[in-house]
Amino acid sequence: MSARFTVLDLLNLDLREHNALELVCLGGRPGLEREIAVPDLNRPGLALSGFFENFGSDRVQIFGRGETAYLHQLDKERRTDTIEEIFRHPVPCVIFTHQQRPTDSFFEIAERGNCPILQTSLPSSEFSSRLIRALSNVFAAREVVHGTLVEVFGLGVLLLGDSGVGKSETALELIERGHRLVADDSVQIRCVAGNILLGQGAHRSLGHHMEIRGLGIINVTHLFGVGSIRDSKQIQLVVELEEWDNGVDYDRFGEEESTTEILGVHVPDARIPVKPGRNIPIIIETAAMNERLKSMGYYSAKEFNQSVLKWLESENARKLYLRGYRPFDESAEPEEE
């Protein structure tokens, strides 16, 4: 991630429904510009008890019911040394779950250190899982590619190729056939969880628009309805469109499995030559269905090869049998060709 991600950015994340963090700021507003540098969380129970070895001070600190109850115990005993020691470290922020609030002494110490104090109504486990997902997305490796991303039979298909080869026109035909557009022209790809590539439009303000040469800019949502679009999709197949070259020997059997590497993740790919008379959208639909079959363990090319081998073996056995060769008769020898 190139830009700094601050506590204020965390508060302003546009997350909804099952991803919403429901965060509010209770104090320490001067520290909202503090940077969150790592996508990890820390429960500071050991630090509150005075053990600071390997203290994850660079992480967001989560205070659940247990930590909050211990804070109240420390407040009764008028012990604040461990709390003061916590805020001597570069803590990005502290977050209280279950809509709990810190003690007055904790609040004063955090305010003196300009450390933001946040609160959420969510339980600790649910909030932690949502925050980890959010930070994983923020810190995910990403790149922007020139292409078109569509969902075909539930598979995210990334269309690549030179400008003018027909990526947008092919996607338009796929949308007409009931599939969905994710992004056209510029696709932002993020690597999530180490091996999942998520694609979306690089410019959200432009929405689901397409540029069709000779026609101009069209709004896919207005023309085909909200059922024809989606905001993001995992990339599971890469299709490289290229002009037909009579001098190139294109794969006709599909025996070799080829992949394209994006952000360190290998994605199955297909190289489709384009020329007048070829129905590219139907070919892409077939490639998507074939890829789904492969994910279920069914390989058409391998099955075809096995069928051919069985047929050749059966033909040879039939010829030998008709010539009178008996495999268990030592006196019989197969006739030479």
What span, in angstroms and rounded, lies between the C-alpha atoms of 64 and 155?
40
Both ends of the chain: CA-CA distance in Å?
70
* Residues sharing a CB contact under 8 Å with residue 337, sequence separation 6 or more, in sequence order: none
Q: Which of 14-18, 145-149, 312-316, 318-322 has the lowest mean pLDDT?
A: 318-322
Q: Is 249 an active-site residue?
A: no
177 labelled catalytic: no
Q: Catalytic residue among 4, 146, 266, 275, which? A: 146
Mean pLDDT of 174-203: 91
From the list 40, 185, 271, 294, the catalytic residue is 185
Q: Answer whether CATH 3.40.1390.20 is correct for domain 7-137.
A: yes
Alpha helix (H) ranges present in the chain? 7-11, 45-48, 65-76, 81-86, 104-112, 124-139, 167-176, 220-224, 280-295, 300-322
- pLDDT tens for each residue of 59-101: 999 999 999 999 999 999 999 999 999 999 999 999 999 999 9
Catalytic residue among 142, 167, 179, 233: 167
3-state secondary structure of 280: helix
**In the annotation, is 190 catalytic?**
no
Is 184 among the residues known to form the active site? no
Q: Specify whether the CB–CB gap between 318 and 330 falls below 8 A.
A: no
pLDDT of residue 317: 61
Q: Alpha carbon of 325 to those of 101, 321, 334, 335, 336: distances in Å?
A: 91, 5, 5, 8, 11
- At 25, the pLDDT band (50, 70, 90 cuts) reads very high
Q: Residue 97: its pLDDT value, please?
A: 96
Which strands, in side-by-side order, build the sheet including 23-27? 23-27, 117-120, 94-96, 60-63, 41-42
Q: Any idea which fold 141-295 has?
A: Rossmann fold (3.40.50)
